[in-house]
Chain A
């Protein structure tokens, strides 16, 4: 059995769900819109000592902050966008394509910029040595990919659908299936690391990381859409997910 005695002090899902509901009710009563994830969200226990207690300090970007590092074909091989061909055999699971565009806050495509992804395998197991989930490691799946966006801001990965995985935030805690995304903009200030989810996941309501985005419309922005036009006959299913970064500060005069 995997129910460790060290979990004895942990909360139950019902207790965590109550905390999530209380925060959601308070937010709904306030009648304002909060687009970002909260840093201070106690139902996610690890955040309690790891969030700043003071407000972020406003700064006008200067110098280096108005630019982003440049990545190119010397950094990323096009084959790195296919997570299903990194070993000698086919990984287990539902093969799928995930594609979309990276846009800035003004709707302009983020061109030729780095996108990194990492994820669990179909059984919900990460390759990482600290993942103790007793699901099978898939020798044909590492779960790491990279690509550069094209001239219109498009990215595209071929992978397999990750499974949900258990974690120790509370007893019987399970994360909804997700793919981690790391995205660069054209400015330092636009840096984003986030997670993409799949439509209709029954674990959404129970997950304190997803629910830390307290606005329902804001958290729905992390859910990909099934897209039959991306699906390929007798090969793979397809999902589409666009990523919007914050606005840029450089004027057109400063563009490369």
Chain B
């Protein structure tokens, strides 16, 4: 069957898609909590203040979460999913756990979906944790050296930083997953 085409999330999702606790996959300040944050930038390097980022990830042991409850968090269950709106400076931020490897030797990554006014369809990408496992990763190895770095988060004092450049210098690698 032919898939239904996408359309932009538009300018007015802000009263519909965000919800209390959306970007806090674990309570801030809890044991092992880290921050994943970054900026969304357009082709002129200007911040995108009306973007929405969705995060989907394995837990700290590399297990794919199967628990419901992302929309009404109970403070204890790790559901692995959240969403964060960008602020006026184009910045998004999640409080979460560092994902573990989902298989032997696999490089751990956050799976991200990007929506914005002006972006006609959602984009998907990976934010890898920096580390030796990235050297053997199949996707990273398939990219030219100059573009590989756009998929690797950099550490900061609270966790990791991953900027998303929609266009131009340092344009983030976005993924397609077609079967053919």
| A37 and B80 contact, CB distance less than 8 A | no
| B11 and A36 contact, CB distance less than 8 A | no
| 0 or 1 for each of A146-183: is its CB under 8 Å from B? (1 = yes) | 10000000000000000000000000000000001010
Interface size class of B (residues with CB under 8 A): 35 or more
Q: Which of B17-57 contact A (CB under 8 A)?
A: 17, 42-44, 46, 48, 54, 56-57
Question: What is the minimal beta-carbon distance from B177 to any residue of chain A, in angstroms?
Answer: 4
| CB of A57 closer than 8 Å to a CB of B | yes
Instruction: Tell me the nearest residue of chain B to A53, going by C-beta.
Output: B167
| B79 and A69 contact, CB distance less than 8 A | yes
Partner of B57, one of A64, A75, A246: A64
User: Of A4-12, A23-31, A126-134, A228-236, which binds chain B?
Assistant: A126-134
| A71 and B71 contact, CB distance less than 8 A | yes
| CB of A41 closer than 8 Å to a CB of B | yes
Known: A49-B46, A194-B4. A39 touches B121 (CB 8 A): yes
| A249 and B179 contact, CB distance less than 8 A | yes
Tally of chain A residues near chain B (CB < 8 A): 77
Bound-state Cα–Cα, A107 to B2, Å: 10
| 0 or 1 for each of B112-124: is its CB under 8 Å from A? (1 = yes) | 0101111111111
| A58 and B6 contact, CB distance less than 8 A | no
| B175 and A57 contact, CB distance less than 8 A | yes
| A189 and B177 contact, CB distance less than 8 A | yes
| A35 and B178 contact, CB distance less than 8 A | no
Q: Across the interface, which residues of B come within 8 angstroms of A67, CB to CB?
A: 64, 66
Q: Which of A202-252 contact B (CB under 8 A)?
A: 209-210, 212-213, 218-219, 221-222, 243-247, 249
| A193 and B124 contact, CB distance less than 8 A | no
Question: What is the minimal beta-carbon distance from A191 to any residue of chain B, in angstroms?
Answer: 5
**Chain A facing B: main interface SS:** loop
| CB of B133 closer than 8 Å to a CB of A | no
| CB of A198 closer than 8 Å to a CB of B | no
Known: A67-B64, A191-B124. A118 touches B12 (CB 8 A): yes
Question: What is the minimal beta-carbon distance from A9 to any residue of chain B, in angstroms?
Answer: 17
Q: Across the interface, which residues of B come within 8 angstroms of A244, CB to CB?
A: 1-4
Q: Across the interface, which residues of A come within 8 angstroms of B79, CB to CB?
A: 69-70
Q: Which of A94-144 contact B (CB under 8 A)?
A: 103, 105-107, 116-118, 126-128, 130-131, 142-144
| CB of B76 closer than 8 Å to a CB of A | no
Partner of B58, one of A38, A47, A64, A126: A64
Q: Across the interface, which residues of B come within 8 angstroms of A3, CB to CB?
A: none
| B119 and A194 contact, CB distance less than 8 A | no
Partner of A57, one of B8, B9, B72, B176: B176
Known: A36-B121, A47-B118. A243 touches B4 (CB 8 A): yes
* A/B interface sample: 5 pairs, CB < 8 A: A46-B117, A50-B42, A52-B172, A192-B6, A244-B2
A residues adjacent to B (C-beta < 8 A): 35-39, 41, 44, 46-54, 56-76, 103, 105-107, 116-118, 126-128, 130-131, 142-144, 146, 180, 182, 188-189, 191-195, 209-210, 212-213, 218-219, 221-222, 243-247, 249, 256
